Amino acid sequence: MHFDKIVKYTAIILFSTIATHCTTMKKADLIVFNGKIYTVDSSFSIASAMAVSDGKIVAIGSDNAILNSYFSSKKIDLKGKFVYPGFIDPHSHFTGYAEYLATADLTGAKSYTEMVSRLKEHAEKYPSEWIIGRGWDQNLWKDKKMPTNEELNKAFPNKPAFLFRVDGHAALVNDAALQTAGITNTSHIEGGEIPVANGKPTGILLDNAIELVSEHIPPVAKEIREKLVKIAEQNCFSVGLTTVTDAGIDYQTLKFLESEFSENKLSIRIYAMLTHTKENIDSVIKKGPFHTSNLYVSAIKLFADGALGSRGAKLQEPYSDMPNTTGIWTTSEKELNETCQLAYQTGFQVNTHCIGDAACHLVLTTYGRYLKGKNDRRWRIEHAQVVAPDDFSLFGKYSIIPSIQTTHATSDMGWAGERLGSRIKYAYAYKDLLEQNGWLPNGSDFPVEDINPLYGYYAGVARKSPTHPSGTPFQPENAIDKTAALKAMTIWAAKANFMDKYVGSLEVGKFADFVILPTDLIESFSDTIPKVKILATVVGGKVVFDKL
């Protein structure tokens, strides 16, 4: 009897211990601990541990608080490493970048000859119907003159060749491509130019003229496209991006992305801006914004003007280095107004590409007529590169978001002054723009710039080229501070994408999208930041890139 009592008593104690354990310790899918976690919440608080379940953050705090409340079969000991919310690129071209991977990379080519030899090398590796290249910039060549297509014709006499300039607002094509598109010395198009010399087109196409040829390029087959977006996604994860933007896609691309997500072929999050085509308007925009956990659709993308490098940006006064032009309008005022009206009614954002001060002025004042005063519609000016001094305050007055790319400043700093003269003082003025609303998003516009968000972080703070950090800073008075630069690629980027309820900071209830870095971006800022390698990237609690 005595023995039975002991057994019974022990059983009761054991049972109650297990019961107590179960009520206080909760199961999590993943616990990370022993690190410095920048939560980027509203008080910019620091934590050391985090518990994740069902893809979302369920608790965040000190090691003691988390490890005494949660248990998990999957734990990551951070060993003092640094955690940030997953990086967000609020202005990039994700599917464009994927296809870009299949085109010859002409970025940084120091001469026409180098460009042609890179094309030949690429053409040997990748069989294709067309020679496609991207990224040339005549500003890097000796004479800095816009090229003509003679050398290109010699290299590729029969195969059409189409070469995008670095800014995407000009293209160089060979005669075979011109013939395919039926372009002659008398061809014209609204919102674009087809320069002619010696009685024939030079092969250069500006802005809307580009489409006359690009529409003849055969579409990439679906299986190839799927492979390319997978590679693009993995490249993004490797630099810590967990959300990217597709700034201006057509209906077919939207459908492609929807099918990739529904078949679980992609796990990155995408904020897609739609072009204002009839198909997008009738099939999507008129029904209002929507989102899934991965795909967020709430914006219409417009282009007011071209780019500064190719002198397509619309300026109020002529270009300082070409006094007979002020640039090119690429969307009519009528279309701009109709789109604003539609967006206002359907609850969509309007995100308009504006580089020149005339473009910024027109779009800011047009937005203002609909928005009237302070609001939370988050309509955006993409780039906001050259802003007239009196127009800065319009951003604050109408709560219009300047969507900036700090690497554009450091990429353009060598020649932008020639285009703008004294106006350069009001160009790439990111600190002045930040002051208008107290927040702004910073993206890369990849593939125009490198996909690495740390390049943008560094360029915003140091105002120096991420690839040549030993250079002189460009207008350092317009640098943004480290905290602002980190927010601009996390919580403010999420806000600009209407995704801040779900991502952008590490808080309970949000998706567990985070990155692990070996470096304290805030406390140890130096010229080595652009070289920092990501240790791990996690999307929805799942490790998608692992170099830990």
Using CB positions, name the residue nearest to Zn ion. Answer: 445
Residues in contact with 311: Cβ distance below 8 Å, sequence separation at least 6, in sequence order:
319, 322, 325, 327, 419
**Which strand (E) or helix (H) includes residue 48?**
none
Least distance between Zn ion and beta carbon 377 (Å): 21
Which of 81, 378 has the CB closer to Zn ion? 378
SS (H, E, C) 49-67: EEEEECCEEEEEECHHHHH
**Which strand (E) or helix (H) includes residue 246?**
strand 241-249
Phi, psi of 123, rounded to the nearest 5 degrees? -65, -30
Which of 207, 445 has the CB closer to Zn ion? 445
Give Cα separations from 14 to 3, 17, 23, 24, 39 (angstroms).
17, 5, 14, 16, 39
Contact characters 195-224, Zn ion, x per CB under 5 A:
------------------------------
Which of 168, 530 has the CB closer to Zn ion? 168
Least distance between Zn ion and beta carbon 382 (Å): 6
Find the binding residues for Zn ion in span 470-509 (CB under 5 A). none
Which of 94, 511 has the CB closer to Zn ion? 94
Least distance between Zn ion and beta carbon 316 (Å): 23
Least distance between Zn ion and beta carbon 247 (Å): 5
Least distance between Zn ion and beta carbon 450 (Å): 14
Q: What is the DSSP string of 188-213?
A: --TTEE--EETTEE-SEEEEHHHHHH
Find the binding residues for Zn ion in span 443-472 (CB under 5 A). 445
Q: Select from 220-228, 239-247, 270-278, 367-375 the region that touches Zn ion (CB under 5 A).
A: 239-247
**Residue 244 and residue 270 in contact, taking contact as beta carbons nearer than 8 Å:** yes
Structure tokens, 444:
């890369």
Closest to 44 (Cα-Cα) out of 84, 74, 81, 71: 84
Structure tokens, 217:
């390029």
Least distance between Zn ion and beta carbon 95 (Å): 12
Structure tokens, 98:
């994927």
Q: Select from 151-159, 243-251, 364-372, 385-393 the region that touches Zn ion (CB under 5 A).
A: 243-251
Which of 101, 522 has the CB closer to Zn ion? 101
- Is 247 an interacting residue with respect to Zn ion (CB under 5 A)? yes
Q: Which residues pair with 162 in a beta bridge?
A: 132, 173
Ramachandran region of residue 463, left (φ > 0), alpha (ψ -120 to 50) or beta? left
Q: Select from 185-193, 340-348, 427-435, 437-445 the region that touches Zn ion (CB under 5 A).
A: 437-445
Closest to 89 (Cα-Cα) out of 231, 227, 237: 237
Binding residues with Zn ion: total (CB under 5 A)? 2
Least distance between Zn ion and beta carbon 87 (Å): 18
Which of 301, 311 has the CB closer to Zn ion? 301
Least distance between Zn ion and beta carbon 235 (Å): 18
**Residue 358 and residue 326 in contact, taking contact as beta carbons nearer than 8 Å:** yes
Which of 174, 352 has the CB closer to Zn ion? 352
Which of 445, 500 has the CB closer to Zn ion? 445
Chain positions contacting Zn ion, by CB under 5 A: 247, 445
